[in-house]
Amino acid sequence: MTATLAEHDAMRRALDLARRGPRGVNPQVGAVILSPSGDVLAEGWHRGAGTPHAEVDALSRLEPGDARGATAIVTLEPCNHHGRTGPCAVALIDAGVSRVVYAIADPNDVSSGGGQRLRAAGVDVEQGLLADESHDLLDSWLTVQRLGRPHVTVKWAQSLDGRAAASDGTSQWITGPVARADVHRRRAQADAIVVGTGTLLADDPALTARAGDGSLHANQPVPVVLGERAVPDSAAVRRHPHPFLQYPGDLAPALADLRQRGVHRVLVEGGPAVAASFVRESLADEYLVYVAPALLGGDKLALRDVGVTTIDEALRLSVESVEKLGDDLLIVATPVPEGDS
């Protein structure tokens, strides 16, 4: 059965409802219940971990029996597991819903299978309505499900000869104001920003996302410090809008904890040793390299040892874009999958 015009309209509404929910550990999901004649009976959305899922939220607005023979329009496949809440697929079956239309399948092995369960109970099920729009909405959450951890972007600024600082250690500013504004824009798009204790103690970064006039962007990444050295009481990061998180050098446990906190996108800003550790452990999904037309010489490399000893071991990248930012260049690259190089 092909989706009706009313079902298309309802899915667009469900997507709007989904955006009301918080972005975090759980996906943003919206649901609309339609009568057999295509009228809206109820709406719902997921309001965060531990709260009713979108389908149950919508059903809760109806009297018992009102959903019998109805159609449920949902932006994500109804779940099929017992967590803090029961399976949405079962709730829809018990409510007497006769048809379920959802945009995209649940990629989580634990919660997926709702569509199959609904079909086994005799419910008419259709998948794929406005799938592209739902993918766009859930892009970062879906990435976390695929990777099993937050998406990691490693960023650094360097001179044309690959140096992050002059011989005396000074590094502000290698790049110009246009490139720095781009960095702050990307900080505002991240959920967390990571530096090592070495960079924090040497540069005392605020780790905020700021506009050209110095004001803070509406979205601020959570500051994350890697390393066991104490953060001074006077450190600028202590005045960040969000309390900073500190982890020892083990990256996998740190990323796992960030995922549990609802972090989808991590921006690694330094320094050279921390950046290299993410590269060395194959935890870098994207690179942002800001290149200034300057020569510094010396040994203050932008990236430390990444475990490459011969040219055959080079970590090959695919250049996604090159952009001129004032006098500087921004190179965006991603790792080439093994076997493709």
Query: Which pair of structure tokens corresponds to residue 340?
Result: 């493709």
SS (H, E, C) 198-243: HHHHHHCCCCCCECCCCCECCCCCEEEEECCCCCCCCCHHHHCCCC
Question: Does the active-site annotation cover 313?
Answer: no
Task: Find out whether 48 and 28 touch, Cβ atoms under 8 Å.
Answer: no
Catalytic residue among 55, 269, 281, 313: 55
Of 107, 118, 98, 48, the C-alpha closest to 76 is: 107
Catalytic positions:
55
